[in-house]
Amino acid sequence: MEQYKRIKIQDHPEWAERAAKWFHEKWNIPQKAYEESMAECLKKKGAVPQWYIMLDWERIIAGLGVIENDFHNRKDLTPNVCAVYVEKEYRCQGIAGEMLDMACADFAGAGIDTLYLITDHTSFYERYGWEFLCMVQGDGEKEMTRMYRKESYVF
């Protein structure tokens, strides 16, 4: 994966608008919501929110964010990885795992050693060291969804 470039939006604000559009196209969440979160990321040097993308030349091929809460009832389980996506033709190359590791390392370096995420996947995240924690209620959802956590330690 040396051919792909890793971008932390906070360090590369020139990518914020394009990244917000890309995430909107993948998740059908209003682009403005991504723009606002990225603007918040850019104006402060705190840990949350953060946004990450991976490029193949100038094309965004993967991305994820870290926000306070990914729209679920367990507000105590924070911060949350969200919007994990890898373009179909780039899947099965370990890109998602690398992006997850990048976010975990970044947050561990900021003194936050545990991240959480919600997902309907039942085995995908375990491959990358995430462990199932509990079921949570998504905002406006009838069905419960799976909550995972990953603890990273800096020695």
Which domains are delineated in the chain?
5-112 (3.40.630.30)
pLDDT one-digit tens code per residue, 126-143: 999 999 999 999 998 899
The chain-wide mean pLDDT, for the chain, equals 94
The DSSP letter of residue 122 is: S
pLDDT at 58: 94
Per 3-state DSSP, what percentage of the chain is helix, strand, and coil (rounded to 5)?
Answer: 35, 30, 35
Q: Angle at Cα 60 formed by Cα 32 and Cα 130, nearest 5°?
A: 85
Q: What is the pLDDT of residues 62-117, one digit of tens each?
A: 999 999 999 999 999 999 999 999 999 999 999 999 999 999 999 999 999 999 99
Task: Say whether pLDDT at 154 is over 60.
Answer: no
The rounded distance, in Å, linking the Cα atoms of 127 and 118 is 15
**Tens digits of residue pLDDT in 118-128:** 999 988 999 99
- Which backbone phi and psi does 110 adopt, to 5 degrees? -95, 10
Each residue's pLDDT tens digit, 16-28? 999 999 999 999 9
Q: Is the pLDDT of residue 43 over 70?
A: yes
pLDDT band at 47 (very low <50, low <70, confident <90, very high): confident
Structure tokens at 80: 């949350």
pLDDT at 3: 83
What are the CA-CA distances from residue 155 to residues 105, 113, 114, 152 (Å)? 12, 11, 15, 10
In sequence order, what DSSP letters do the residues of 49-114 get, joined into one string? SEEEEEEETTEEEEEEEEES--SBS-TTS-SEEEEEEE-GGG-SSSHHHHHHHHHHHHHHHTT--E
pTM value is 0.94
